[in-house]
Structure 1
Amino acid sequence: MVCGDHDLVKQLKTDPDNAKLGPQDRRMIDFALKLTREPAGVSRDDIEALKQSGFSEEQIVDIVLIICTFNFMDRLADGLGLELDPEMEKLVEKNKDR
């Protein structure tokens, strides 16, 4: 998976559609992108594809909850015009090329 692979993390941030992933991780990322970009387009077939990739129903629920939480928090912050704390801004800036 991604732990410790800074090049893969960078590729996922800049070009997620072409990141070099194993089949299960690719399926999960494709699902995350679809749920984020076109949520109304997600269907039972997408869930079945995750199951066929080896994810359990519990893991699929976790995947969906994590995606939804991040999307919610991003939209909440954007909708309220919130800005990052200056210390967090420094951390993001320091690690943006990792």
Structure 2
Amino acid sequence: MDYAVAITRDPTSTARRDVDALREVGWTDAQILTATEVVGFFNYYVRMVEALGVEPEPEMERDPAVWPDP
């Protein structure tokens, strides 16, 4: 999660140590690439939706009983 937050906040700040830390806990290069792609896609998608002012479909609204606000 730290890696996802780091590349979300400032993708240019991802240091070699961030990738090395993932490798140290057993991640492969393919897994690191996949994680980077997924985080990048969701960052793109959320920014696009927010910029266009897209409202969620009614069935996508948060149910406070299941997912309370932080």
What TM-score, normalized by structure 2, do the two folds share?
0.84
Moved over 3 A (4+): none
Structure 1 distance, partners of 2:45, 2:63, is 20
Query: Partner of 1:84 in structure 2?
Result: 56
Q: Which runs of 5+ in 1 are unaligned?
A: 1-28
For 2:40 and 2:10, the matched residues in 1 are separated by 13
Q: CA deviation at 1:54?
A: 0.7
More helix as a share of residues = 1
Matches within 5 A, 1:1-98: 29-89=1-61, 92-94=62-64, 95-97=66-68
Equivalent residue pairs, number? 67
| Letter matched to residue 32 of structure 2 | I
Q: Secondary structure at the match of 2:37?
A: helix
The C-alpha deviation readout for 1:9-58, integer Å capped at 9, x for no partner, is xxxxxxxxxxxxxxxxxxxx110111111212112221111111110011
Aligned-residue sequence identity (percent) comes to: 33
Offset of residue 93 of structure 1:
2.1
* Secondary structure of residue in 2 paired with 1:93: coil
Distance 2:2 2:18 in 1: 10
